[in-house]
Amino acid sequence: MLNPMNPFPELLTYTFFMPTLFRLIVGLYFLLKGYLRLGPYKNAYQEAISAMGFKNPKATRIVIALIEVIGACMLILGWYTQIAVIILGLWTALLLKYKGTHKQFIHGSRGQYLFLLVILFSLLITGAGAMALDMPL
């Protein structure tokens, strides 16, 4: 018999695993973005950063890439998840803010960055979830 409040109450057993899925998706996204800034597209990113007016584009590119890679690893492992979420959330908010003026550097759409912000906010509120080094108190 169907429950009028929730037709599939058995699925609620797995709600603790949703933050894990969110962590992996966002972590892999930022890991890929950081890798591209450090590896195959480093010259293109460096030229774009230089065009934005930064005095030392190589150092700026490396710092941005390290923020993304370290934050991604923290998310994937579930280690200090809320700190990683705050840092990556601020970075994503900056990307969203400057999307219109620096299109050569910021490749994602506004919707993509807004979606990332919503997932990051969800992780900030719910915590790391299952299979994480962070454990709720």
Distance of CA 39 to the CA centre of its chain: 19
Task: Judge whether residue 105 has pLDDT over 70.
Answer: yes
Integer Cα distance of 89 and 22 in angstroms = 14
- In the predicted model, what is the mean pLDDT of residues 45-72? 93
Tens of pLDDT along 3-46?
A: 568 778 788 888 889 999 999 999 999 999 999 999 999 998 89
The pLDDT, as a whole number, for residue 103 is 78
Are 60 and 54 in contact by the 8 Å Cβ rule? The answer is yes
With a pLDDT cut of 70, the percent of the chain lying above it is 96
What local confidence, expressed as pLDDT, does residue 137 receive? 60
Say if residues 114 and 89 touch (Cβ distance below 8 Å).
no
Cα–Cα distances in angstroms (integers) from residue 98 to residues 45, 91, 115, 137, in the given order? 15, 11, 16, 37
58: pLDDT strictly greater than 80 = yes
pTM of the model: 0.89
| Secondary structure element (H or E) that encloses residue 51, with its range | helix 42-51
pLDDT-based confidence at 62, cuts 50/70/90? very high
